Amino acid sequence: MSLALSPAERDALEQWLTHLAALKGRAANTVAAYRRDVTGFLAFLAHHHGGPMGLGALVALDQSDLRAWMAHERGRGVSTRSLARALSAVKTFLRWLSDRDGGEPTAILSARTPKYRRKLPRPLAEDAARAMLSTVGDDAREDWIAARDTAVVTLLYGCGLRISEALGLTGAAATLPDTLRIRGKGGKERLVPVLPAARTAVAAYVALCPFDLAPADALFRGARGGPLSPRLIARAMEGARTRLGLPATATPHAMRHSFATHLLSAGGDLRAIQELLGHASLSTTQAYTAVDAARLMEVYDAAHPRA
């Protein structure tokens, strides 16, 4: 598809992506998604207009070009959510291009983002989360592996870590401090308090682990000593949720959702929860208020006396 781009377009795209990665700190997966989205948009324009467009023409596109592209994407079966993400990438690229080269991409920047229903997080109930912590290691072949799986899932629920963040810890964290410094998406750092339960679970794993946990090496190890794969934690949780009768949504990421939702239910401040989770935008964290409200309505519907 990149063959449909002119050399100037390819050069501008590469400069923009480098700008995102180096100066804006965007994660590699985000940069890759932006590359796909903008390349697809530029390739469509080349086909739509019979050849690649000049950079000046790009920032002067009108609504008809945009509507044609969006109709094309919908015709390919692209979801509303994915189309909204692609439009955001296109707007960001054209805004950068207009700032660099001059121009006024008003038509594109004023385009409305397709509306979609944001999927609510699917947390576990508090008793289900505790049950998961106590049973996730039951299928393990060895005691140290059981302790490992319990320690990882405890970090997800007790500290609100992403699975990548938990597995990114090194042997330097073998004795957990009172506060962890976590590097999350886009290289953003945040401080996360460590609960005694998490410290105890990690200490139990460290005491049983048969491998040398050097400070610069991975803290959590696979059976052969290499860095632990997130798939193994997902598999351990699959077995536990089957025994507990929990739904398929009881995944490692659901433990992070549960951390946030249970904090909010206990009266936690939304802005503080945003900081603990490492969300760049408060609107992302606000999804948990909808979860909390939905659960409140479930309780109301189940308990309210009806005439």
Q: Which of 10, 100, 122, 185 is catalytic?
A: 185
The verdict on 10 and 90 lying in the same domain is yes
Q: Is 162 a catalytic residue?
A: yes
R_g of the chain computed on alpha carbons: 24
In terms of domains, do 105 and 143 share one?
no
Assign residue 207 the CATH number of its domain: 1.10.443.10
Catalytic residue among 35, 72, 91, 253: 253
Q: Is 253 a catalytic residue?
A: yes
Same domain, residue pair 240 and 280: yes
Question: 307 in a domain, yes or no?
Answer: no
User: Has residue 114 been placed in a domain?
Assistant: no
Distances from the Cα of 156 to the Cαs of 167, 168, 170, 251, 266, in angstroms?
10, 12, 16, 10, 18
pLDDT one-digit tens code per residue, 3-32: 578 888 899 999 999 988 877 667 777 888
**Does 185 participate in catalysis according to the annotation?**
yes
19 part of the active site: no
In the residue annotation, 122 being an active-site residue is answered as no
Whose CA is closest to 232, among 158, 174, 175, 151? 151
Residue 115 lies in a domain: no
Residue-level pLDDT at 200: 95
Q: Which of 162, 241, 257, 262 is catalytic?
A: 162
The Cα 32–Cα 13 span in angstroms is 12
Distance from C-alpha of 164 to C-alpha of 154, rounded to nearest angstrom: 14
User: How high is the pLDDT of residue 270?
Assistant: 58
**Total structural domains within the chain:** 2
For position 4, what pLDDT does the model report? 73
pLDDT category of residue 236 using cuts at 50, 70 and 90: very high
Has this prediction a pTM greater than 0.95?
A: no
Q: Are residues 295 and 198 in the same domain?
A: yes
Is 117 labeled as catalytic in the residue annotation? no
**Token pair for 146:** 């059981």
Is 148 found in the same domain as 96?
A: no
* Stretch 241-250: mean pLDDT: 91
**Could you tell me the residue range of the domain that residue 152 belongs to?**
126-302
Query: Which residue among the candidates 221, 241, 256, 257 is catalytic per the annotation?
Result: 256
The DSSP-derived string for 105-149 is -HHHHTPPPPP--PPPP-PPPHHHHHHHHHHTTTT-SSHHHHHHH
